[in-house]
Structures are given as C-alpha cells and as structure tokens.
C-alpha cells in the first residue's frame, strides 16, 4: 500500500531495492525467487515493468464474506473478469452507469484505490487530465471495497460556503454515526473557494473542521456515536 502512493519511477525503484534488501536481511531469501512468475521479460530480475503484474487484494472473495483473505491474484484474465463483474453490478444499481472498458492500466489504478480505501482513514489524491477517468475508477473502487457509491456534492451557481459547511456536516456525521462505510469523492472542478481545500486538509490531518458544529449538535453526535463505541 505504501508503494501505491509513490508517484515517480525513482521512488518506486528505491522502494523495490529496499524491499529486496529487507527480505534478504530478515528472511534470508531473495525476493525475485518469490515473484519469479512476474518476470515477463525473462531477464532473471524483478524490475518495475514486472511489478505491473503484481496484484494483491481482497476483492476476489464473495462480497458477503466477513474475513476476506488478502491474497495475490496471478491470473490477469480472472482479475479482469472479477472487476467487470463489479462494474456490471455497479451499473445495475447506479442512476449514472459507467460504460468502461477495463484494460490493465485502469485495473492497476482500481486495485490500488480499493486497497487504500480499505485502510482506516484511507485517502488518495488522484492526479490526471480532465476526462481521464479519475472519478470513474474512484467510484468503481469504492463499490468494490464497500458495495456503496461515494458521497459527492452538487455544485450550482447559488452554492456558497454555507452549503459547503452543511455538506461537510452530513459527510462527517455519516462517517461517524452511519451504519455503512463512507467515501467522500471531491473533484478539483468543485473548488469554488480555496477554503474548501483547507477544510479537506483539516479532515485528513485531524479528522475535524474547526468550528463546524455548534455545541448543541456536538452533544447529539456524541450520543449517536456511543452505540458504535
């Protein structure tokens, strides 16, 4: 999951070399022997192109299974069929179906995002040009992880800071008091005020936005949160 967040080749090469050293030091083994099946160019080494074929996740298990095993998926065709299944299920339930073609690059991103979201407080920044499918893979990864659609705000001409704070309240209340997991999907096109980004940053850093809830609402939230404690 740490490697999922690395954004350039130099960092990924460092991570791979560090993993090789740690496996040799602590397990007295060679990492390329464990993942020899990934050596697609048959050069006897484990390099970055080979790692594109390394997929780990718990999304291959039935959705109703409580303790899903976190396992390697070695067959890309089986993985593609599984993600196509989730896409069909999402499209059957959503009011805005997504006609996506799941090629390997898209599958890599969906797999990474789904893994990140399964972590406590998991969050990710998806970078790309407009129309590259960032929201689509985010929605699909959310459905794979929790069988839900992510929460999004609706921006209009009359949308102000007041509506933004009310939307944030709903997001935080549902995240803390809701019966289901919560994923908030926020796009750069929805930033009408730079303060929105600061609020998101506060949520990621401390889990709260200063002065968002008055004291009377805080007491109600605390009471509702007791049943989850």
**57 forms bridges with which residues in the sheet?**
71
Q: Is residue 25 packed enough to be buried (19+ CB in 10 Å), middle (13-18) or exposed (0-12)?
A: exposed
Give the pLDDT of residue 42.
81
The confidence score (pLDDT) of residue 37 equals 87
Separation between Cα atoms, residue 158 and residue 38, nearest integer Å: 53
Residue 28 contacts by C-beta under 8 Å, 6 or more apart in sequence? none
Quote the CA–CA distance of 177 and 179 in Å, as a whole number.
Answer: 7
Nearest by Cα to 144 from 201, 200, 179, 102: 102
Instruction: For residues 17 and 53, give the distance between their C-alpha atoms in angstroms, rounded to a whole number.
Output: 18
**How many Å apart are CA 182 and CA 173, to the nearest integer?**
10
Q: What does the pLDDT profile of the chain (229 residues) look like in tens digits?
A: 678 778 888 999 999 999 999 999 999 988 888 888 888 778 878 888 888 889 999 999 998 888 899 999 999 999 999 999 999 999 999 999 999 999 999 999 999 999 899 988 889 999 888 888 999 999 999 999 999 999 999 999 999 999 999 999 999 998 888 788 999 999 999 999 999 999 999 999 998 899 999 988 888 888 888 877 6
Residue 213 is encoded by which pair of tokens? 């809830």
**Six token digits for residue 170:** 């709903």
pLDDT at residue number 97: 94
DSSP string, 187-215: -GGG-SSHHHHHHHHHHHHHSS-TT-S-H
Residue indicated by tokens 């083994």 = 29
Token digits of residue 76: 């890309």
Tokens describing residue 160: 């102000």
pLDDT recorded at residue 14: 93
Beta bridge partners of 56: 72
3-class DSSP state for residue 151? strand
The percent helix, strand, coil of the chain (3-state, each to 5) is 55, 5, 45
∠ CA 2-3-5, nearest 5°, is: 75
CB atoms within 10 A of CB 193: 12
């Amino acid at each position: 999951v740490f490697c999922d967040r690395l954004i350039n080749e130099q960092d990924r090469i460092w991570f791979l070399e560090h993993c090789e050293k740690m496996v040799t030091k602590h397990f007295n083994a060679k990492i390329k022997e464990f993942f020899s099946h990934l050596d697609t160019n048959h050069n006897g080494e484990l390099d970055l192109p080979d790692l594109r074929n390394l997929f780990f996740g718990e999304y291959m298990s039935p959705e109703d299974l409580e303790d899903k095993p976190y396992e390697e998926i070695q067959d890309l065709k089986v993985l593609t069929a599984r993600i196509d299944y989730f896409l069909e299920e999402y499209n059957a339930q959503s009011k805005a179906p997504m006609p996506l073609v799941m090629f390997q690059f898209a599958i890599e991103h969906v797999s990474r995002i789904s893994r990140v979201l399964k972590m406590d407080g998991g969050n990710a920044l998806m970078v790309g040009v407009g129309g590259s499918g960032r929201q689509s893979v985010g929605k699909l990864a959310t459905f794979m992880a929790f069988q839900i659609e992510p929460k999004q705000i609706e921006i209009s001409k009359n949308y102000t800071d007041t509506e933004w704070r009310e939307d944030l309240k709903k997001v935080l209340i549902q995240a803390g008091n809701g019966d289901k997991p919560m994923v908030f999907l926020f796009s750069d096109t929805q930033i009408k005020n730079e303060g929105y980004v600061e609020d998101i940053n506060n949520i990621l850093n401390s889990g709260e936005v200063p002065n968002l809830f008055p004291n009377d609402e805080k007491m109600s939230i605390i009471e509702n949160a007791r049943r989850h404690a």
